[in-house]
Structure 1
Amino acid sequence: MPFSSLRLRPEMTAALQRRFSAPTEIQTLSVPAALGNQDIVALAQTGSGKTLAFGLPLIEKALNQPELTSSIVLTPTRELAGQITHSINAIASDIAIENEAGITCLTLTGGCDINEQLEQLHSMPNIVVATPGRLLELMTTHNIGFDTLQSIVLDEADRMLDMGFWPDVSKLLTLLPSKRQVMMFSATFSQELEQKAQHFLFEPQRIQAQAIEDDVRERINESLYLVNKGSKANVLIAQLQLHKSKQTLVFVGAKDNADAICKKLNKAGIPSAALHGNKDQSEREDTLTKFKSGEIQALVSTDLLARGIHIESLPLVINFDLPSDPKTYTHRVGRTARAGQNGTAISLVCHGETAYLEAIRTHTERELPLAELEGFPVTDKPSTGNSKRAPRDKQANRRTNKKTSIKQFRGKPRGKKPQ
């Protein structure tokens, strides 16, 4: 189906045809409904083209009223917000070649100067892409309103729920104009999300693009290795040296662990950087830019980059830690094998993560066998679930916890008999 079938204005169709051969399935299904101002619930996997599925209608509406802020996109992470803005601006700049009306898209996230953002809002950007916390702060603390708003997009809605952002999302939806179109895009749609969403959706059109996971799965070579917990860093270095990948995304579970691993990799001569929520926004943007350009070989990240972020030709993903949520495993390994390419995903698993592995196997309905690596014998023993502490020690600890006065911690005086 050609772009001309989407009922977009000619200059936008021309701009799209210069960049793409044809619309994706989610774009074909979503764009006409969005242009018709229908509320939408769309299920679409990462990599399906969903950013332009909502971005194209938002640009079209902005061209109809270029002097107003007509749309807001809410998204869970700063990185994803920046990527959405980049995608929208790329199409808008092409349209500007044939249309004098310039479309502006503004990113509002934490970690940036809020006073500068307030000044940018006064210029009435056509489209605002924001993380929930920063937008809520601007609206409640600085009394910013969006009276001209026509459309609200909730991108990665399931992840905003999982990350605990839903209270902010709900508050924002009560502050924004009640007469508006709401479009919700999500990779999964749980019963909890269904219940929460029904409060602000009006007769939504439900759209589901065919799952692309099976096709991606066939192009990912997955390997899972059983290793000692204390050997993981050395195994990671060995795997990076073995594969010699120009770009590797390494996922960890904790922010502190990301920094510690990064130091070890750099010491081993592997150019690396860490990316997590404790980094300020400019540092995060600079790190991601360097990684995409190949200046950084290994990017050690928390699940900030597990979903939504597109990195061209990423050949290797390594799970240093298995995620506790099995869905996150699927999103992590899905960072590779993009755009029809093949990729490799490696997971380092210690005995303490076997419950996570079983949950992943159940979720993916795949065997995912564990292998051992030559040169890294497994000497750790599986946990029996029993405590190693002797019963007497437990009793002593309980007695200590019951003491409330420092005098109770002193031993009996020596050499004196009680009076």
Structure 2
Amino acid sequence: MSSVKRRKVDVSLGSAQSKDKKTVTKEPLPSVSSPEGSPAQDVPEAEKSATEGGEAIKTFKDLGIIDSLCDACTALGYKSPTPIQSESIPLALQGRDLIGLAETGSGKTAAFALPILQALLDKPQPLFGLVLAPTRELAYQISEAFEALGSLISVRCAVIVGGMEMVSQAIALGKKPHIVVATPGRLLDHLENTKGFSLRSLKYLVMDEADRLLDLDFGPILDKILKVLPRERRTYLFSATMSSKIESLQRASLKDPLRVSISSNKYQTVSTLLQSYLFIPHPQKDVYLVYLLNEFAGQSAIVFTRTVNETQRLAILLRTLGFGAIPLHGQLSQSARLGALNKFRAGSREILVATDVAARGLDIPSVDVVLNYDLPPDSKTYIHRVGRTARAGKSGHAISLVTQYDVEIWLRIEAALGEKQKEYDTEKDEVMVFKARVEEAQRHARNEMKNLHEDRGKKGSVLKGRRPASGGKRGRDEMDREEG
């Protein structure tokens, strides 16, 4: 889903158009019981052919979306439905629960936002829909999409995430927004502590990036949230993969759902992505990183690291050397995180140094290069990282730094991809030209990090492992789960 801005669309309201039901085939799943003791449902697989009457579906109107929302899509530059939208929207308009399996960047947000907005147009009411997301940035992105697509009816959205004041969020909830977009931990805080707030009238529930929600151990919190939601609702579950955890979640929360699967290979990358690696000694990682960034000077790049500490250190090191670098990780304040993303998107900073909080869900257009300074822990995360570039048919580069300690991880990634990657061509003499300047910048970065630890440590620095005691029940906040 591309990044969207709120835009007023002057169009008239209309009613939903009815569509003929699609035929489905049964796909049996293991017989298990939901936590509430109800029998498990087999999930039918929706037909993959995006055709209607033998003709290919080419417009949102063909899917059953009303004219006013079609005009909003046109104003936002959505020329034609993506595969996940073509398959999901007609079924959602029939009033069915859905499981959508598709990768990040496939247009999932519009796939669930348009049916919800169409239903809202038909029967307006506050607290109509709830969307649960694993990270704060994704929550804000989803809210922007809802507001842009629903600008014709001035849809009100409230974003409920950690790192922000509980009081201001409680006030926003008190104004009865149509759509609530939330991370699970902070939403549960409000359900338990904000007087007068409940979701008993909720009509739609969406769990976006559900596999990521469960990877972050939100399972027990989701169970508590599901218990206070009305049974008579429509539920959409979107995920990149279908694991046993996802099956358990869908059995506990969906009624007779239809499954739409778009991904043919969960480890597939786009053909326009050029992937390579550099096998280097571990002590020379910084030198090779600076060499690569110099090779791609003037292009936008995301540098992925494994830890918060390394993210901060590299950002300081690169800024010392004159690069426009800015850090992004889960232990920055929320305003700093949004500020970093906005500066990178706007082009005022050309390098984003980030942990895996930026690896999936976020739509950051026009990223030219992804550099894996640290290899990810698994192949799925690698796919999401390199998927930040070569989007929407554009080309892109992904280069991974592989040291003597990373060989086993890299071999697993190559095995998952099903092919050996090419080694990036370098001349060691050219790389070592940067050695002296990098060593000087390393000394400066070490001193800066030491000062940062000392200054913030007195106040409960997150970089020293202690948390500031503010803003709700922090033990459940998603910041504790986003990264190691």
Report if the CA contact (8 A) 2:241-2:266 is conserved: no
Correspondence for 2:310: 257
The equivalent of 1:131 in structure 2 is 183
What CA distance in whole angstroms lies between the structure 2 residues aligned with 1:196 and 1:293? Answer: 38
Describe the superposition over 1:242-267 as per-residue Cα deviations: whole angstroms up to 9, x where unpaired.
11143111100101110011111001
Match of 1:325 in 2: 378
**Paired-residue identity, %:** 36
Q: Which moved more, 1:68-77 or 1:214-223?
A: 214-223
Q: CA deviation at 1:359?
A: 1.6
* Alignment-mate amino acid for residue 242 of structure 2: F
Amino acid in structure 2 at the alignment position of 1:50: K
Match of 1:91 among 149, 156, 165: 149
Q: Which residue, 219, 226, 230 being the options, matches 1:177?
A: 230
Judge which range, 213-222 or 355-364, deviates more.
Answer: 213-222
Report if aligned partners of 1:45, 1:211 keep a CA contact under 8 Å in 2. no
Match of 2:174 among 105, 108, 122: 122
Alignment pair present for 1:166 and 2:224:
no
Decide which of 65, 68, 74 is 2:123's aligned counterpart: 65
Q: Which amino acid aligns with 2:273?
A: I
Q: Distance in 1 between matches of 2:273 and 2:301?
A: 14
CA distance in 2, matches of 1:76, 1:239: 32
- In the alignment, what sits opposite 2:204? 151
Aligned partner of 2:390 among 321, 325, 337: 337
The normalised TM-score by structure 1 is: 0.85
Q: 1:177 to 1:196 in 2, by over 3 A?
A: same
**2:311–2:353 contact (8 Å) kept in structure 1:** yes
CA contact (8 A) 1:62 1:127 kept: no
TM-superposed deviation, 1:62: 2.1
Distance 2:267 2:410 in 1: 20
Aligned AA (1:60): Q
**How far apart are residue 36 of structure 1 and its match?**
2.3
Q: C-alpha distance in 1, partners of 2:260/2:184? A: 24
Separation in structure 1 between the aligned mates of residue 73 and residue 423 of structure 2, nearest angstrom: 45
The match for 2:332 among 279, 289, 306 is: 279
User: What is the Cα deviation at residue 236 of structure 1?
Assistant: 0.8
Corresponding letter in the other structure for 1:142: T
SS for the counterpart of 2:201 is coil
Which residue of structure 2 aligns with residue 232 of structure 1?
285
Shift of 1:177: 1.6
1:130-160 alpha-carbon deviations (Å, 9 max, x no partner): 1111111110122421121011101000111
Count of residues paired in the alignment: 371
- 1:222 counterpart = 2:275: yes
Unaligned runs of 5+ residues in structure 2 are: 1-56, 433-484
> Secondary structure of the equivalent of 2:202?
coil
Q: Which has the higher helix share?
A: 1
User: Which stretch of structure 1 is more off in the superposition, 265-274 or 183-192?
Assistant: 183-192
Q: What is aligned with 2:18?
A: none
Give the Cα separation in 2 of the matches to 1:214 and 1:342: 18
Alignment partner of 1:80 is 2:138: yes
1:365 aligned to 2:418? yes
Residue 249 of structure 1 aligns to a residue in which SS? strand
Aligned partners of 1:166, 1:265: CA distance in 2, in Å?
38
* Pair 1:34 & 2:92 matched: yes
Instruction: Give, in whole Å, the separation in 1 of the partners of 2:213 and 2:268.
Output: 26
Once the two structures are superposed, the pairs formed by residues 200-219 of structure 1 within 5 Å of their partners are 200-211=253-264, 216-219=269-272
- 1:242 pairs, out of 278, 284, 295, with 295
Quote the Cα distance in structure 1 between the aligned partners of 2:331 and 2:227: 30
